[in-house]
Amino acid sequence: MLKVVNTKILLVILAVLIAIAGTLAYHRHEAEKAALQRQQEYERFRQQVEKDKKKHSSAAANEGKTWQKYIP
């Protein structure tokens, strides 16, 4: 009788440990997904900043040339 109780207790403990391990694995996976998403958003942001910077620099570089066309 005592052996059966011990076996059941051990099975419950094993089930709890498996549930905890599964939860930890799930949280680790979700954290990795979130980190990857943040990195991709940062890369898109940096690309947009570089694109805007080039556009702004290009407009400033050509400003003198455009005004020369309008001077009589």
From CA 51, how far away is CA 48, in angstroms rounded?
5
The whole model's pTM is what?
A: 0.56
Q: Summarize pLDDT for 3-22 with one digit per residue, the tens.
A: 888 999 999 999 999 999 99
Q: Summarize pLDDT for 14-48 with one digit per residue, the tens.
A: 999 999 999 999 999 999 999 999 999 999 999 99
